[in-house]
Amino acid sequence: MDAVQKSGRGGNLEAQRERAIATRATIVAVARALFAEVGFHAAGTIEIAAQAQVTRGALYHHFADKEDLFAAVFRLVVAELNERSRSAVASLSGDLWSQVTEAFQQYLMLVAESDEYRRILLIDGPAVLGWVRWRELQSAFVAQGTADALQMLMDQGLVERQPITPLAGMIQAALHDAALSIANAAQPVTAAEQAMCAFSFMMRGMRQTPAAT
């Protein structure tokens, strides 16, 4: 028996898996560019398949339909946005309050400065996915990070101890509302600056002085 497992269509299974992963990534990358450029409804699967150099059958092998492909793009983009928000404040190590508040502000500014983020995450996202699923996908990437940040702030005595899950949900809702307003504003950067000031004001209202030890 061969040491390398063979598939019925030739080649080892590991190589096939790698090709499948690469094909899926290519489809997602092409779809992301088209969704950002022309929007979900104007981007057809025929064009996506052609630019990805795959058949429509191959596209539908990886994704149930165009909405499923959009959801994959959405997950990729929101994860990237959150990672960029965190990376932007990495130099503020040791100052937890500044890290948390600046990460929130960076999130809003990145949304304001990127047509791609606004269209995919905040304009087409709710319309294509529906409000409930849109919130679920947003929460999968945002809510836990917010809850973790609140836990650390509470542990350092910078925020009064409160039930974390509902508080994180309220902060997340405020971020979502601000981001939606920015996405639909005539001047997104100005709207982001105003939202950042309002969000900082709200966060300062939560802050308390740590008790002396």
Distances (CA, A) of 102 to 80, 94, 97, 149: 17, 13, 8, 12
Residue 141 identity = F
With CA atoms as reference, report the closest residue to 86 among 160, 149, 28, 138.
Answer: 149
Terminal CA-CA length for the chain: 69
At 1 the pLDDT is: 44
Distance of alpha carbon 87 from alpha carbon 204, whole angstroms: 23
CATH 1.10.357.10 domain span(s) along the chain? 65-206
Q: pLDDT tens for the chain, 213 residues: list them.
A: 454 455 555 568 888 899 999 999 999 999 999 999 999 999 999 999 999 999 999 999 999 999 999 999 999 998 898 888 888 877 777 788 888 888 888 888 888 889 999 999 989 999 999 988 988 887 776 677 788 889 999 999 999 999 998 898 888 888 888 888 888 889 988 998 999 899 889 999 999 887 665
* Domain boundaries for CATH 1.10.10.60 within the chain: 12-63
Residue 76 and residue 28 in contact, taking contact as beta carbons nearer than 8 Å: yes
CATH superfamily of 65-206: Tetracycline Repressor, domain 2 (1.10.357.10)
Question: What per-residue confidence (pLDDT) applies to 24?
Answer: 97
Q: Is the Cβ–Cβ distance between 105 and 199 less than 8 Å? A: yes
Q: Please, what CATH class does the domain formed by 12-63 belong to? A: mainly alpha
